[in-house]
Structure 1
Amino acid sequence: MRLGIFRRKFKVLLSVSGLAVMLAGCNDKPAEQAQDRPVLVATVHYEADVPERSFVGTIRPRVESDLGFRVAGKVARRLVEVGQRVEPGQPLAVLDEVDLKLQADQSEAEFRAATGVVAQAVAAETRAKELKARGWSTDAQVDQARASADEARARLTRAERAVELTKNSLSYTTLAADARGVVTATLVEPGQVVASGQAAIRIARIAEKEAVVAIPETLVQRARSGEAHVTLWSEPGRRYAAKLRELAPQADAATRTYLAKFTLPDVGEDVQLGMTATLILADTGGEKVARVPLSALFSQGDKPSLYVVDASGAVSLRPVTVKAYETNDAVIGGGVEEGARVVALGVQKLDPAQKVSVVASLAF
């Protein structure tokens, strides 16, 4: 269709050029120089012979984790809702602290009692050593005093650790975010009694996002070695580079496809989780070919050739290798360089010694 439009423009241009020559003849003024022949050119572009394949996927976070309390208790407050963004250290939910505060008070009291016992045991050990030095005590009494003092010190250490544990448990009543992200699920409500480690809030980290797609077994190798990029349905004109991060080692039992996850290092905050994306895979190892209009081929029984136009308007005939013939195009494998401009119409009337004037350019 595009070629037909340019053919009509080309005919109109030739008619205008002929009219100008007739007018010049009527005025009996010889032309100072011959006019260049107007031509339509096509720009050569090489690409992989294997066509690109596209797959529909979704945008997912690379890390999504369920956070839970490290102690059991009754949920007093939930401080976040689904969809809310959170920062590291931000409180998400709080447990009732009454029982844990009582345990903390109990451990503090045991620590003070153990401190007094240690002081008494150390004093008894000191007196036993002094009496032994004066000959008023036996070795057994000294050993007994020393053992009592060691036991008192151990009890003090245990009471000290109990105080630290109860303080930690008291701090665990506040569930805080461990990274920047967004809340994707709230699994607890105020008044609910939860166990230690039970999932309470689900957080998706938004620092790293990826596209998740299902790859058929025939394209697994291309997914590993080929180039990939992603477009969003919300922004069809924008492409994001993608890199394979994970490929399932086993096919899905129902669909017989392999789940693939492609990281998207260039996406920003505008790309939301759950968006629909199109992943495009291209084979980088395939042969490069270019497509030119069939009307651009020039052949007189020998190898097909193309007329290449340089910057000055001069044309040169270049032999090319034709890989295949399609409905409107010819697939060539070489002979002309990338970006070369070739005459797309009227090549049978061209002369290599003749200069041309480009009136339109068409990229293939």
Structure 2
Amino acid sequence: MFARSIFASYYRLIAGAGIAFLAFSLVGCNEIAAQKAEPGRPVLVTTVHYQPESPARSFVGTIRPRIETDMGFRVSGKVAKRLVEVGQGVEAGQPLAILDEVDLKLQAEQAQAEFSAATGVLAQAAASEQRAKDLRAKGWTTDAQMDQARAAADEARARLNRAERSVDLTKNSLSYATLLADAKGVVTATLIEPGQVVASGQTAIRIARVAEKETVVAIPETLLGRARDGVASVTLWSEPDRKYAAKLREIAPSADPATRTYLAKFSLPEADEKVSLGMTATLTLSDAETSRVARLPLSALFSQGGDPSLYVVGDSGEVTLKPVAVKAYESGDVVITGGVDEGANVVVLGVQKLDPAQKVRVVSSLSF
């Protein structure tokens, strides 16, 4: 009985050891299989992206009209009607407001009456001058009487001319009683109301012309040269996918005392109806001519007595050593101008231990 118990314990011990050995064997086989399944050495890569050497700078601006006019009556009077409201679009020649025309019509009638009287006086003076000429030719009058008749006729002609000009002026004044828009635009302010008495030249309605639009931005003094010589473009916040060409039209001669920036105005020759006044826009400034470079970590550069190179990882895990053109070395980066294609994946760590004949496995990718 005792021997049987010892044999059973020995049997269980042998069986357990066999099971453990089998388990360890399976684990080892799995690790070997996993190692064989993996393509090669794990590497850390980054994607090559070329961009302008001097990056573009963006500024927030506002769409404004190039010309905004304060319209006013050319004569004084009492406002009878205001025909437009703020935000209303107007066409060239459209009436905006009307003055009471009673006094202006009376002035026109008075000028017409003076013109009629001057016409009659001139006719009488001209007849007297002609009679004096006839009598002087026959020797029946003196030179003094002839000169007097001629002077009276000249005065009558001058008075008629003055009366004619007065009629024209009163007609113009009567036409000025209606304030007309001088160009297509949008009403941005109305400063008069019916019943109000206005003076000649007083601002009545403000019109922003829509034919020419521009973006107004504040430019720091460090970028004034780029604003003058660079390439500018504008995008609207309401339409970020649409880009409009911009051209510098005006820049302030002095900086703002509070912000130390210069107010710049960029015209938008391609602006359409979607570019509305008051919209918020983004102005982008870039250099007119600049080389495209890519910045990579210094650790990605491979150089052992030869030209600087980079290890480029292919789609199937192969690596290729490609020489590159280095433009500059920075504190932690290298600036290249060519040698590898846009979007290529390059190894950034451990390049000294790589061999072009081996395959690698990308374990992570860095954005740089």
**Contact in 1 for aligned 2:68/2:208 (Cα 8 Å):** yes
Alpha carbons 2:87, 2:188 under 8 Å: kept: yes
Tell me if the contact between 2:245 and 2:268 (Cα under 8 Å) persists in the aligned partners: yes
The match for 2:181 is 177
Question: In the alignment, which residue of structure 2 is the partner of 1:112?
Answer: 116
Q: CA deviation at 1:280?
A: 1.6
* Distance in 2, Cα, partners of 1:334 & 1:345: 16
Question: Do structure 1's residue 99 and structure 2's residue 98 form an aligned pair?
Answer: no
Name the counterpart of 2:10. Answer: none
Shift in Å, 1:279: 1.4
1:86 aligns with one of 84, 90, 111 = 90
What amino acid sits opposite 1:266 in the alignment?
A: E
State the match for 1:258 in structure 2. Answer: 262
- The question of whether the paired residues in 2 share the 8 Å contact of 1:288 and 1:333 is answered with yes
Q: Secondary structure of the equivalent of 1:74? A: strand
**Do the aligned partners of 1:46 and 1:290 also contact (CA within 8 Å) in 2?**
yes
Whichever residue aligns with residue 344 of structure 1, its letter is V
Q: Distance in 2 between matches of 1:130 and 1:43?
A: 111
Is 1:317 aligned to residue 319 of structure 2?
no
List per-residue Cα deviations over 1:238-282 (Å, max 9, x = no partner): 222211111100111222111111111122111111111121222
Runs of 5+ consecutive residues of structure 2 not aligned to the other structure: 1-32, 40-44, 314-319, 360-365
- Which residue identity does 1:196 align to in structure 2? S
Q: Distance in 2 between the 1:325 and 1:135 partners?
A: 113
User: Is the CA contact (8 Å cut-off) linking 2:49 and 2:343 kept in structure 1?
Assistant: no
Compute the displacement of 1:236 (Å). Answer: 2.1
Q: Residues of 1 paired with 2:274 and 2:199: CA distance?
A: 37
CA deviations 1:15-44 (Å, max 9, x no partner) are 9xx87x9xxxxxxxxxxxxxxxxxxx9986
The offset of 1:320, in angstroms, is 2.3
Rounded Cα–Cα distance in structure 2 between residues aligned with 1:265 and 1:68: 29
Paired position in structure 1 for 2:241: 237
The one of 207, 210, 218 equivalent to 2:211 is: 207
8 A Cα contact 2:47 2:346, kept in partner: no
Residue type matched to 2:140 in 1?
A: W
Number of residues of Structure 1 aligned to a counterpart in Structure 2: 320
Q: Which has more radius of gyration? A: 2
Which residue is equivalent to 2:21? Answer: none
Pair 103,322 (structure 1): closer, same or farther in 2 beyond 3 Å: closer
Residue type at the aligned position of 1:211: T
177 and 282 in structure 1: CA distance in 2 versus 1, 3 angstrom threshold: same
Q: Deviations over 1:69-123 (max 9, x none)?
A: 0000000000000000000000000000000000000000000000001110111
Give the distance between the partners of 1:350 and 1:341, measured in 2 at CA. Answer: 20
What letter matches 2:79 in structure 1? V
Aligned ranges 1:159-174 → 2 under 5 Å = 159-174=163-178
TM value normalised by structure 1:
0.77
